[in-house]
Chain A
Amino acid sequence: MPRLISPLALALIGVILFGDGAYIHAKAWLAQALLERAFDRSIATGQPVKPWSWADTWPVARIEVKRIGASAIVLAGTSGQALAFGPGHLDQTVQAGERGVAVYAAHRDTHFRFLRNVAIGDIIDVTRNDGRRFRYRADSSTIVRFDASGIDPAATHFELVLATCWPFDAVTSGPERYLLHATLIGNRK
């Protein structure tokens, strides 16, 4: 038996690590399912609805890219907790559809994994939790440092920025961010 201890220990650590990684994905996936429900209720009631009672955030919008079948529920705020469950809306930026730049950020390996597949010209639909829908068109992408985003919060045009970590396939986190800029092209009730 003693000679089995080292492979067993190794296997245990491996499994814990793998489980932890898998858990992050599971949480991201499961949360989105719960968030869908909360978001639909939110649209129905017109009030922000928390997805679960102890949540410190709530859904603010649904973002969809129909061409590639991607969809995600965006949460208020970008604390570590919020980002684990869904894309976050940067608090100090405007709401989607308002004058200015609305910024949504999410993890590159979970909710914004689809960002690499979004091509310039793709249509991005945003449904706010008050039921209003806005349509944006992706028109450029940039790579910036996190502290030099170049986003002007006082901008006077209608813009949406989706942000995630860059490069997409790196396994460690770095200072670079990928920004997808989109311009408002219409709103529908």
Chain B
Amino acid sequence: MDHHDTVDSDEHPDEHPWLGGLIKVGLFLLAQSIAVLLVSFVALLVSFETSWSATTEQASLLQPGDAKSGSLLLKEDGATTEAIRLGTDVDITVSGPTLRTRVTQIFRNPTRDWVEATYVYPLASDGAVDTLKMVVGDRVIVGDIKERQQARVIYEQARRAGQKAALTEQERPNIFTNSVANIGPGETVLVQIEYQEPVHQAGNEYSLRVPLVVGPRYNPAPIVQSVDFRNDNSGWGATNSDPVPDRDRISSPVLDPAKSAPVNPTSITVHLKAGFALGEVKSHHHNVKIESPDNMTRVVTLVDGTVPADRDFELTWKPTAEKAPSVGLFREHLGDADYQLAFVTPPAAEQAIQKPLPREVVFVIDNSGSMGGTSIEQAKASLLYALGRLQPNDRFNVIRFDDTMDVLFTTSVPADAAHVGEATSFVSALQARGGTEMVPAMRAALTDKLGDTNMVRQIVFLTDGAIGNEQQLFETITAMRGRSRIFMVGIGSAPNTYLMTRASELGRGAFTHIGSVEQVEERMRSLFAKLENPAVTGLTAKFSEANADVTPAIIPDLYRGEPLVLAAKLDKLAGSLEIKGRVGDRPWSVTLPLQNAAEGKGLSKLWARRKIGDAEVARTLRERTPEDTDKTILALALDHQIVTRLTSLVAVDKTPSRPEGQPLKLSQLPINLPAGWDFAKIFGERPQQPPAQLRDRRADAGEPTARRPAPVTPDAIRLPKTATSAELEMIAGLIMIVLALILFVFKRRQTLLADAA
């Protein structure tokens, strides 16, 4: 342009220079505006891209952690799946020594998509799951027991073919997964499983326990590596280093009680036919209504109708008689075999006769994050009670662990006032935090430094058992147990009962359960009765005529108040059963004529379940090879139609329901945080403060009398963000264009003035 200026000036040197200048400015502005228009056109095309990326960004912000950004959390982008709604009904019939539980899970799909739902839930660890039914509309499809892999294949095929299917798999003896494929939009599918379980007896108290939630497990990081060699004998392999290879299968998304209302409403009904006149019937953690049609029967229902699935349901009952019957004998005929179940409570040795042996007690307390909230209070109260019960000639030590560990004294010390005082203040100061590295603590507790064989060595282990590497712990116990006896104390609203029972079985001790602070004293007193009184040892069982397959194969020692529970498969129901043993140092024996046995239900399943347990124990003890164990378990499971780690139940509705081409979304059902647990202790601090009305972040640990929020409350409606940045951008854009023009005119004017000069 400068060039043109000069040419112009040369050609018309005597014309009005200001007029020419003005024309030139006008021309330039015209050219400029055409350029601006062109640029804006390009910009419009470019903005196509930017605008899209802006919206995508907005969408990707819709993550759970960002719930306060004002956007609605929906499954749209696959990041957050709106939950399938689940309701559970538990119906229990107690008939004498056994109980049968029917668990009905109602999966409702409120979304617009076809959904596959998976739900991880707990069951009693000694229950035998034998029935799966799926109810779709008015059709009932009964599941078949299949080898696990085969069941998986059948399920996957049905899933792909758009057929409704249900699959029940065992992850741990007390953790199961139900998968339900192809739940249509707005549809409801019922999945029903049934299991058989023995009634528990302790002293003159009978009990049942229904776990309702799998507490989040701590899965330790790998330390020891094992190697998987390739099958081609090339010598190359990969290290397999995970102590919990199935960690994904036992972890569910856990809802933060501070952010969402409890889910999974559960109703419970117990039909209690004890077989004897009933005295006190008590639910320990739930408010219940108890009806008594007659003096041997009770019907127990929840007062509130439904409760959130966030704690175990525990029911105990006692006979009216001062003492419970000390012997129970039951039989069942199935196929060509007879099954028999015997409960025998040995007489208690009089303490006055024997002076108890001095003891060395090692207390181990779990102060990991999962114990946060009320659990640690229960554990501390229990341990302080135990310290108070020690005798001056006992020796003791205290170990605490989370993902670190402290041993209070280098070796066990005499339980004098000074040492007990030191231990008391150590325990009182404990706080729950960190991971749960249980194996090193167990190893430390089992290390027998005193080696004083004149003393009884006992380990009292207080934990909620919230770990995924149970098998590692069992192997540690097996390898190091020596002469130590392990007494597990299960703490909290949803302890890992499988870990407790198996660990105390391997440790030849007993298992006590403490579910609330009120239970601490009563339960600890009965634990100390076990610790302080001589055990019933050297037990054997002999059938006079029948050929019997007895479980447990090696009868464990019994502690004060514990009954001997024997299950056997007999070829004929004749003769008698003789049980011999020693109570303290006195011989004891009892003979039961088999003819007097009463009819029982589902005894064969219980026998099979216990045989499977025996096989697993034998494998842990390295008495049997893994291959041999698997063969035994598989045969028993297929024979008796029960779910094990090697067998699953699968049900397929042959009618295809999902139209071809419709996608299927996976929905992992969330679970509640067990009552009394502290969310932040397990999952870390949340970035944002919860809304004021929900600031108490602990899962409800209230007493049964406290009102709980209704679990059926649907999530509140959150409104999406409904403002665009369009206006802001247009205003800013316009301002900038105007500024640009002003700037340009200003600069141009300067140039012209300079030229003119």
Contacts and interface: CB of A to CB of B under 8 A. Distances in A.
Contacts of B56: 80
A151 B728 contact: no
Interface in B642-692: 691
Given A20-B47, A80-B55, A90 B728 contact: no
A16 B723 contact: no
Interface in B693-730: 714-730
Most central of A6, A17, A109 by chain B CB within 10 Å: A17
Interface string B57-100: 01100100000101110101100001000000000000000000
Contacts of A137: none
Interface in B559-595: none
A91 B111 contact: yes
A3 B718 contact: no
Contacts of B691: 147
A171 B82 contact: no
B554 interface: no
A107 B724 contact: yes
B335 to A, nearest CB: 52
B747 to A, nearest CB: 5
A73 B44 CA distance: 26
Contact of A15 (B43, B51, B72, B718): B43
Interface string A49-91: 0000000100000000000000000001111110110001011
Interface stretch (A22-30, A33-41, A121-129, A180-188): A22-30
A84 B725 CA distance: 11
Contacts of B47: 16, 19-20, 23
Contact of A7 (B46, B726, B727, B741): B741
A141 interface: no
Interface string A114-134: 000000000000000000000
Most central of A56, A84, A170, A179 by chain B CB within 10 Å: A84
A14 B740 contact: yes
Interface string A91-106: 1110000000101011
Contacts of B730: 17-18, 21-22
B1 to A, nearest CB: 8
Nearest to A175: B70
Given A92-B82, A92-B717, A19 B40 contact: yes
B613 to A, nearest CB: 45
Given A16-B47, A92-B82, A147-B716, A11 B39 contact: yes
Contacts of A84: 55, 724
Nearest to B61: A80
A189 B1 CA distance: 71
A84 B54 CA distance: 11
A interface: dominant SS: mixed
A21 B43 contact: no
Contacts of A11: 36, 39, 736-737, 740-741, 744
Nearest to B750: A3
A20 B50 contact: yes
Interface string A142-163: 0010111101011000000001
Contact of A56 (B51, B71, B76, B734): B76
Contacts of A80: 55-56, 58-59, 62, 71, 721
B733 interface: yes
B48 interface: yes
Contacts of A105: 719-720, 722
A21 B82 contact: no
B732 interface: yes
Contacts of B51: 20, 23-24, 27
A136 interface: no
A18 B74 contact: no
Contacts, number: 200
A105 B112 CA distance: 18
A91 B82 contact: yes
Interface residues of A, number: 64
B76 A109 contact: no
A161 to B, nearest CB: 9
A78 B74 contact: yes
B27 interface: no
Contacts of A151: 716-717
A13 interface: yes
Contacts of B74: 77-79, 91-92
Contacts of B39: 11-12, 15
Contacts of B737: 10-11, 14-15, 18
Contacts of A146: 70, 718-721
B88 to A, nearest CB: 20
Given A11-B36, A109-B726, A146-B719, A21 B733 contact: yes
Nearest to A15: B40
Given A15-B36, A19-B733, A4 B728 contact: no
Contacts of B721: 80, 83, 146, 165, 173
Contact of A24 (B43, B110, B715, B726): B726
Given A7-B740, A91-B74, A146-B70, A24 B725 contact: yes
A135 interface: no
Contacts of B725: 21, 24, 173
A12 B43 contact: yes
A137 to B, nearest CB: 22
A165 B722 contact: yes
Contact of A90 (B72, B723, B739, B743): B72
Given A24-B725, A110-B726, A3 B715 contact: no
A15 B47 CA distance: 10
Given A90-B72, A103-B717, A19 B722 contact: no
Contacts of A154: 714
A20 B737 CA distance: 14
Contacts of B724: 24, 84, 107, 109-110
A177 B71 CA distance: 12
Nearest to A144: B719
B744 to A, nearest CB: 4
B731 interface: yes
A163 B722 contact: yes
Nearest to A25: B726
B63 to A, nearest CB: 13
A149 B718 contact: yes
A21 B44 CA distance: 10
B661 to A, nearest CB: 13
A81 B48 CA distance: 14
Contacts of A79: 59, 62, 74, 76-77
B735 interface: yes
Contacts of B716: 147-149, 151
B729 A18 contact: yes
Interface string B12-44: 000000000000000000000000100110011
A143 to B, nearest CB: 12
A170 B723 contact: yes
Contacts of B68: 147
Given A146-B719, A171-B727, 15 more contacts: A10-B737, A11-B741, A15-B737, A17-B730, A19-B43, A21-B726, A24-B725, A91-B82, A92-B715, A103-B719, A144-B719, A147-B691, A151-B716, A172-B728, A177-B719
25 contacts: A3-B751, A7-B743, A10-B737, A11-B36, A11-B737, A14-B733, A14-B739, A18-B729, A19-B44, A23-B48, A23-B51, A76-B112, A79-B59, A79-B77, A91-B111, A105-B722, A107-B724, A144-B719, A146-B70, A147-B716, A149-B717, A163-B720, A171-B728, A172-B723, A172-B728
Interface of A: 3-4, 6-8, 10-25, 27, 56, 76-81, 83-84, 88, 90-93, 101, 103, 105-110, 112, 144, 146-149, 151, 153-154, 163-165, 170-175, 177, 179
- Counting from the closest, the 8 A-B pairs by CB-CB distance are A18-B733, A14-B736, A17-B733, A21-B730, A21-B729, A11-B740, A24-B726, A173-B723
